[in-house]
């Protein structure tokens, strides 16, 4: 399954609150992500606000469109928009620009 990785930047003054919000993601948001085929979705946050997102999905554009069509996503994005730097008027979900994968080691480690 294709992997997607993206970067965003959380405002330094909102990092702790961002972490707290993600410790309690709305159940209906989790259901919507699953229904939209966002698999193995993870967010990693560095102390300076760099946010790295990772997910697996058959078609990222379709997965984004499926989420954009839900009411819960619109509510979540509206609440989260103030946490991010440099979105240029876009929502956080619209600011996700996939990185190009340059290497991937698949499978178990080699036997020694």
Q: Domain spans of the chain?
A: 3-83
pLDDT of residue 5: 96
pLDDT at 83: 93
Tens of pLDDT, residue by residue over 51-80, are: 999 999 999 999 999 999 999 999 998 888
**Domain 3-83 -> CATH class:** alpha beta
The per-residue pLDDT for 108 is 81
Query: Would you say 97 and 41 are in contact if contact means Cβ atoms under 8 Å apart?
Result: no
pLDDT at site 86: 67
- Distance from CA of residue 79 to its chain's centroid? 15
Helices in the chain by DSSP H: which ranges? Answer: 15-22, 27-35, 60-68, 71-80
Average pLDDT of the chain is: 91
Counting beta carbons within 10 angstroms of the beta carbon of residue 55, is it exposed (0 to 12), middle (13 to 18) or buried (19 or more)?
A: buried
Packing angle, helices 27-35 and 60-68, rounded to 10: 140
Q: What pLDDT does 87 receive?
A: 61
Encode pLDDT of 34-58 as tens digits. Answer: 999 999 999 999 999 999 999 999 9
- 22 counts as catalytic: yes
Per-residue pLDDT band for 94 (boundaries 50, 70, 90) equals confident
Catalytic residue among 22, 24, 39, 104: 22
pLDDT for residue 88? 67
């Amino acid at each position: 399954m294709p992997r997607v990785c993206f970067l965003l930047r959380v405002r330094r003054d909102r990092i702790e609150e961002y972490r707290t919000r993600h410790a309690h993601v709305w159940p209906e948001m989790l259901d919507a992500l699953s229904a939209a085929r966002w698999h193995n979705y993870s967010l990693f946050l560095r102390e300076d606000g760099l946010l790295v997102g990772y997910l697996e999905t058959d078609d990222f554009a379709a997965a984004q469109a499926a989420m954009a069509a839900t009411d819960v996503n619109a509510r979540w994005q509206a609440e989260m928009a103030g946490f991010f730097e440099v979105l240029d008027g876009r929502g956080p979900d619209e600011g996700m620009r996939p990185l190009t994968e340059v290497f991937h080691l698949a499978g178990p480690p080699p036997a020694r």
